[in-house]
Chains A and B, each alone.
Chain A
Amino acid sequence: ETGVTQTPRHLVMGMTNKKSLKCEQHLGHNAMYWYKQSAKKPLELMFVYNFKEQTENNSVPSRFSPECPNSSHLFLHLHTLQPEDSALYLCASSQDQREGYEQYFGPGTRLTVT
């Protein structure tokens, strides 16, 4: 596979469930990102990892827990979510974390919290 892949593509979970989103990039990039895309709102940056180290946490609630075991893989662990967390979660990667490097996005996971 090429580019950035995300699994699952769709997820429905109850507020008491625990689930994980997975992202994998096949581009040899060093930085990876999680974004939340909600209707009628700009994309919200959630987390940034550079060489497996978290460099940004954009005041995300602790019910979202990221994990980056290596530069190619990124996870988002979910627990006790709220209905307002329903959104499209996008993963992205870039060659470098410095300004000016374009980010490449995966297709997203459509999350519905019931």
Chain B
Amino acid sequence: AQSVAQPEDQVNVAEGNPLTVKCTYSVSGNPYLFWYVQYPNRGLQFLLKYITGDNLVKGSYGFEAEFNKSQTSFHLKKPSALVSDSALYFCAVSGSQTGANNLFFGTGTRLTVIP
């Protein structure tokens, strides 16, 4: 069965410093992995995805994620954090027994960028 774990409920980072939000996954087939961000009182916004190919995926707002098959991880990264990056981040994996696009989400990591 597909599942995602986000081991940190909260991540704090100083503005300008690099940030990492961690995600590990478990899938029974090929992993299709996603990162979403949620700002207060808003829906989820798609940031990036890994389907196949290069292990380093670049996405919106300067975010990138590194797929590591041996460690079953898909950590989200950004070289220099902005205060406006403060939000709730969700990792998700796609899949089901039928191959349908059902997303399984982690519990989310709240990122706070300190000015």
| Partner-B contacts on A (CB < 8 A) | 4, 6, 31, 40-43, 45, 48, 55-56, 90, 92, 94, 96-108
Contact = CB atoms under 8 A, between A and B. Distances in A.
B47 to A, nearest CB: 9
Interface size class of B (residues with CB under 8 A): 20 to 34
Given A31-B101, A42-B107, A56-B100, A99 B94 contact: yes
B49 interface: yes
Given A55-B100, A97-B101, A102 B46 contact: yes
Most buried by A among B4, B43, B96, B104: B43
Contacts of B104: 42, 45
B45 A56 contact: no
Interface string B86-103: 000010001110011111
A67 B51 CA distance: 31
Given A105-B43, A107-B42, A48 B106 contact: no
A64 to B, nearest CB: 17
